[in-house]
Every structure is written in C-alpha cells, then in structure tokens.
C-alpha cells in the first residue's frame, strides 16, 4: 500500500469532511490494518496495540473503533472470518463498486477487488429467483495465491 502516513492523513481528512474525528487510538488501529497484508481479528489488533504502544486496550473499545472505521468506509469486515482489513481504496477520490475479497486459504493474504455492477445485479436476480433476498453483495472467495501455489509445486 501507499505510505502509511499519507493514508492516515487522507482518512483523517475524510472523517473531518463529515464531522467525524479520527482519534489517536482509531489511527493506531487503522494503521495496524493498513500495514497488514492479512485480515486481523479484534484480538490480534489488541495484541498489536499493546506491542506498539505498551498500552492495553479493552476489546469493546477495539470493536467500537472497528465499527467507526467500517462506517467511515476505511475498513471492511470479512464476515466469514470475523476479521477486518483496511480498504484498498482509502486514498481514492472516486466511487468504487462493491468490494469483493480473495482470501488465500494457505497464507491468509487478502486482496480486495471490485466486481462489475452488472455481475452483482445478475447475482441478485439469481438469488431472488431462488426465493431469497440478498442481504449483502460482499463476496469472500476462498482462493490460493500465486506465491503459495508456486511454493506447493
């Protein structure tokens, strides 16, 4: 990803633009996610916070911070894994499609991609025709990354 400070500054400006505040603890949690290539759980973030700041942070505080960051479109929650990842589009100024996540089942690296809106619409129609309503168009796709594939060969 880009320079962490640049990303955090952009996130701070984004929050300010609609009256929200990116506090020091929020910045630290976001920074940990930005620097990680893997999705992290709240408890992994608690451990990182302690390592980096020498300060303990309660789990409820981390969950509130993650809820805030998700509401600000700065992080995404991977629902199947119950982990979080920084949005790969934090510094972009344009609107993006629905985020989708490729998750390596070997090394747990996560890559955010976008899928064409027409593909999502087709998926919604298929779901509707099956007698269901799509609650979230976010897909989390189990994959194996090229590095893991190459090292397994």
* 68: Cβ contacts below 8 Å, ≥ 6 apart: 20, 26
The answer to whether the annotation marks 92 as part of a ligand binding site is no
Q: Which uninterrupted H or E stretch holds 24?
A: helix 24-35
Which two tokens mark 88? 């790969």
Residue 143 DSSP symbol:
E
For residue 15, say whether it is annotated as part of any ligand binding site.
no
How many residues does this entry show for the chain? 153
The binding site for Zn(2+) comprises 104, 107, 145, 148
Which residue numbers belong to the known binding site? 104, 107, 145, 148
């Amino acid at each position: 990803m880009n320079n962490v400070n640049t990303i955090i500054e952009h996130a701070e400006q984004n929050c300010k633009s609609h009256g929200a505040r990116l506090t020091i603890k929020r910045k630290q949690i976001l920074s940990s996610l930005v620097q990680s290539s893997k999705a992290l759980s709240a408890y992994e973030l608690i451990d990182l916070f302690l390592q980096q700041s020498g300060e303990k942070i309660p789990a409820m505080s981390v969950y509130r911070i993650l809820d805030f960051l998700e509401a600000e479109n700065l992080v995404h929650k991977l629902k199947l894994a119950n982990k979080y990842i920084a949005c790969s589009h934090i510094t972009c100024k344009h609107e993006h499609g629905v985020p989708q996540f490729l998750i390596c089942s070997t090394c747990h690296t996560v890559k955010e991609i976008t899928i064409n809106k027409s593909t999502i619409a087709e998926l919604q129609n298929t779901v509707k025709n099956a007698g269901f309503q799509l609650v979230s168009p976010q897909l989390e796709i189990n994959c194996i990354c090229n590095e893991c594939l190459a090292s397994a060969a």
